Each structure stands twice: as structure tokens, then as C-alpha cells.
Chains A and B, each alone.
Chain A
Amino acid sequence: MVSDRASRLDHVFHALAHPARRAIIRQLSGGERNLSELAAPLKMTFPAATKHVRVLEHAKLIRRRVEGRQHFCRLEAAPLKEATLWTESFREHWEARFEALDSLLDEMKSEEQTRARRT
């Protein structure tokens, strides 16, 4: 059985696996854009851009709202946060942990020295 959460994550990764869709995400990180604004820098046809937008929408990475004949897209934050958990690099993760451990050990040492001076 595949959980909702796992399948949602599958959608997120599938959506981010295409360079055009990552380019769309990058553009949207600058704020809301309409479909033609998204299609233009990608040098792709309007229907092709629409297809990519639909995949991103399906993964709930972006949200689309319709205003008259214009379709506006913007980023959805939550699924991306979830995706970063799975993509943080192994080395960076452990280096960050060990640096935190360095400061913790420094504190423990000074606490011990303070206690030793008091007695």
C-alpha cells in the first residue's frame, strides 16, 4: 500500500524531474506570472507550457487562478519543504550535525570548568 504522503512525494519528484518545470518554478519564485509570461522564456508553445503547468499543479507545487481569459500561477510552499527533506545531501547533513555537536561540546566543557571552579 502506498501512503498518500509517499505518493504526493512521487508527484513532487516527477514534477521537478523536468528542466522546463524547474525553470517554471524558478520564474514563479519571483512572484505570480501568467501562462504566456511563463511560456515565453522557455521558448515553447503555449500548449506545451500548459502541459508542464498542469504537471506542477497536479503535484500541488503551484496554484492556478483564472481571471477573465488570463491564467495566473503562483508557488505553493508546503510540498517543496517536504521535498527538501529527501534531497538534502548526506554529507552536508552530517557536517551540519557535527558542527552543532562542536558547539554543544564547547558549552559542556565550559559548564564543567565553571562547576570545577565552584567546588
Chain B
Amino acid sequence: MSAPVTTSPLGLQISTPTDTTLVLSRSFNAPRRMVWDAIFTPDKMRRWMLPPPGWAIASIECDVRVGGKLSVAWKSDDANPAMTLQGEFTAVSPHEHAVHTENMALGTGQSIGSLVERHEFAEKGATTAMTITQTYNSKEDRDGALASGMDEGMEACYQKLEALLHERT
């Protein structure tokens, strides 16, 4: 059953069609070959894979063909790498769809989760609808990803703190 969790004026739709999946849909004002390039070219990925405050992307590799590797490393002031993402493309049809695995780990090597991500691109006139389907290992993992930071009280508190901390540093 596909039930939209939330809808935004920007067109981002988040839904949970099954217990272990999470689907993100968003339209872009560009042809799909361009959206594809923006999503899978390392130099361009740096522009939208926004690192958390105080962190930076240390390296990105993305070889979008079957068997090709996806590898991202983040660094922080006190750890390099602070976090890593390692994956492999398992299905690729250029400008149409791509499937890759994702294993996330802390800099210490401790695993913090894995999932399979499928990107689909559909051109509609001058726009491209991109759909990202994330498949987690369990419902708990999926819910964990979706719920991270959803306690609004806490979230607002953290954001205020973060802003203050930036002013002070």
C-alpha cells in the first residue's frame, strides 16, 4: 500500500510502499540525461551531497556501470574519515535507471547500516521525475532512517544550538 507520508510545495514526495522500502520522488526542471549526470558524476555529486555541519566530503568515486564502485568518504575536524559509504552498481540502464548497494560505516569501521538504492528517471516534457527507492534490511532500519530527528522539539533545540555554536566559533 502506498501512503504518502508528507508532501511539500517543492514536489518532494516521501512514501513507504512496503515495510522495508522508502520512496522519494521529485521533479527537476532539466532533461533526464542532465539529471543523470548531476546524480552520478563525482564533481557534481559534491554540489548536492550536502555534508552535515562541520563535516566535509573527503573523496567521491562513482563508476556508474554494472560492477562499478560507489565510494564516498566524509571527514570532520577530529576524524578522517569520519564516515564512509561503499557500494556497487548492480543494474544500470543509462539515463533510465540504476541500482546500487550502500554500506555505511563510521571512520572506525563500525557498520551503521546498509541498503539498496534504485534511481529511476522519467522525462515529462521539459522536466524529469526522479524516483529513489531505498530498500532496507528490516522495517526497524527503514523506520529508523525515516524517524531520525523527527522529534520536532528536540530538532528545534538542536538547530538553535547549532546556530549558536556557529556564531561562537
Question: For chains A and B in complex, what number of residue pairs have CB atoms within 8 angstroms?
Answer: 131
A48 CB–B CB distance under 8 Å: no
Q: Do residues B162 and A84 form an inter-chain contact, with CB atoms below 8 A?
A: yes
What interface size band does chain B fall in? 35 or more
Residues of B within 8 A of A66 (CB): none
Main secondary structure of the interface of A (DSSP, over half): helix
A89 at the interface (CB under 8 A from B): yes
Nearest-neighbour CB distance to chain A for B125, whole angstroms, equals 15
Contact among B37, B158, B168 for A83, CB-based, below 8 A: B158
Known: A29-B161, A100-B47. A88 touches B34 (CB 8 A): no
The total of chain A residues at the interface (CB under 8 A) is 44
Residues of A near any B CB (own CB < 8 A): 1-6, 16, 22, 25-26, 29, 75, 77-78, 80-106, 108-109, 112
| Interface residues in chain B, defined as those with a beta carbon under 8 Å from any beta carbon in chain A | 6, 8, 10, 12, 14, 24, 26, 28-30, 34-35, 37-39, 44, 47-50, 52-55, 76-79, 106-110, 145-150, 154-155, 157-162, 164-165, 168-169
7 interchain residue pairs of minimum CB distance: A85-B52, A87-B149, A3-B108, A100-B48, A105-B30, A89-B149, A81-B54
